[in-house]
Amino acid sequence: MATLYGLTRCDNCRRASRWLRDRGIEHTFVDVREQPPGAGDIARWIGCFGWRALLNRRGTTWRSLPECERSELNEVRASSLLRQYPLLLKRPILEAGSSTVLGFDGQRYSQAFDT
């Protein structure tokens, strides 16, 4: 079974969930606001994508952080910020078997499920 991490009110997350439903792919949706990912999840995703790709610097959560927290980032600091502020995660994140996909892209989702 696939797991989709995101926000209930995020348009891209809703598109991703609809894409999965339309193809009859069972999945669990995890709202990161209600169920923040653990350190192991974040470490796994950083391993897949790198911390720079995983960190959403366009949202209001990022802009509301004090400059001292946004400056001089490295993997350890970024991981700490992502655990503290899960809304900083780029989304959605799809985990399906051995595939993990960041963002929503129908072609990459098809590859993850070989459809």
Q: Which residues are catalytic?
A: 10
Sign of the dihedral defined by the CA atoms of residues 78, 62, 102, 20, in that order: positive
* Contact indicator for 52, 85 with CB cutoff of 8 Å: no
Cα 90 to Cα 87: distance, rounded to the nearest angstrom? 8
CA distances in angstroms from 39 to 26, 27, 84, 105, listed in the order given: 25, 22, 10, 26
Edge-first strand order for the sheet with 99-102 is: 27-31, 2-6, 93-96, 99-102
